[in-house]
Amino acid sequence: MNQQRLVLWNPYASQAEANMELKADIQQTPDTRIHELSEQDDLNDFLGKQSHHPLLVIAGGDGTIHKVLNQVGASNENFDFAVLPLGTGNDLANATFGKISPWDCWQAIAENRLISRTLDVGKVKVDQQELYFFNSIGGGISAEFSKNVTKGEKKTLGSLTYLKGSLEVITNPKRFHVNYRLDDGEWNAREIANFFASSSSICGGGLEVAPGAKNNDGMLHFITYRAMNSIDRVILMTDYLAGRYEENEAVKSEVCNRLELNSEETLKVSIDGEIKSGCHFQIELFPQALEIQIPDLSE
């Protein structure tokens, strides 16, 4: 018996409207059903009523993946997971199996040309709320920019939305006073413009924040940008474009398994695109805690 597929389609994903032909093709695929996601969805209740435990294909971007897996549970053994990238950045998909079109990705899924991959999963406690993340957390200027990005901008600008955000991170003079410690180490004080805590090398639609990192290497990559004057910000932008990003003295890159960070003022963070605010953050990485099915591109 072929495995059933249940496609969780986010109609608000930035590439969803442009892929209506793909959606129609999916609806005609044997052993496949589509469920359109909505803000009112209780996925635990909906999936609990399924008579078979299908392959859950999350059709959307990083925010959709974040929402679904936080509701269903990344370690839920009743389901296998796959991703159909329809978002603006698609960082998790790009970091895991590279940039391929939604059509090519669906063809691999429909033909069962899939291989299993296990990925690291992060958990963050923002003040008293806990969430899982599957790619990265950005705090400071980048999160403030993300909060103001509209769905219309994402659809119109696509990945250029994140280029605009990258420039905002580099050029905005705002600064935040934070104290942090890695694992059980000593506390460090730092005045920053921005930070990233990432299980991957990229975030924000392809911004390479931790060159060489893998989303199954078992390490949480913590990158901070210290507060800079206008000249330093131009130098950082030049170094990034020239591939000298990690050598810039404004950038500090560290690795750990656990991170605690306290801010003197309320700090906005973007957790896989979901915006939260707080002063106290506890972040932990769980190595290879999520198993997903990805396209087999070896042929």
Residues 99 and 174 in one domain: no
Question: Are 30 and 81 part of one and the same domain?
Answer: yes
The domain that holds 99 is classified in CATH as 3.40.50.10330
| Alpha carbons 87 and 153: distance in angstroms, whole number | 13
Residue 261 CA to residue 189 CA, distance in Å, equals: 10
Identify the domain containing residue 48 by its residue range. 5-120+290-295
Residue 106 shares a structural domain with residue 140: no
pTM, two decimals, is 0.86
| Contacts with 98 (C-beta within 8 Å, 6 or more apart), sequence order | 297
**Same domain, yes or no: 218 and 200:** yes
> What is the Cα–Cα distance from 297 to 98, expressed in whole angstroms?
10
Overall domain count for the chain: 2
Chain centre distance of CA 128: 22
CA dist list (Å): 204 to 77, 86, 88, 90 = 30, 15, 9, 9
Query: Which pLDDT score is estimated for 160?
Result: 42
Quote the crossing angle between the two packed helices 141-148 and 160-171, to the nearest 10°: 140
Whether residue 36 is found in the same domain as residue 160 = no
pLDDT in single tens digits along all 299 residues of the chain: 577 999 999 999 989 999 999 999 999 999 999 999 988 777 878 887 776 778 999 999 999 999 999 988 876 777 899 999 999 889 999 999 999 999 999 999 999 999 999 999 999 999 889 999 999 999 987 776 554 444 444 444 344 444 455 555 555 567 899 999 999 999 999 999 889 999 998 876 677 888 889 999 999 999 998 877 666 766 766 666 566 767 778 889 999 999 999 999 999 999 998 889 999 999 999 999 999 999 998 86
Say whether both 150 and 105 belong to one domain.
no
Residues 204 and 264 reside in one and the same domain? yes
User: What's the confidence (pLDDT) of residue 255?
Assistant: 96
Residues 113 and 132 in one domain: no
230/130 same-domain check? yes
pLDDT of 173: 63
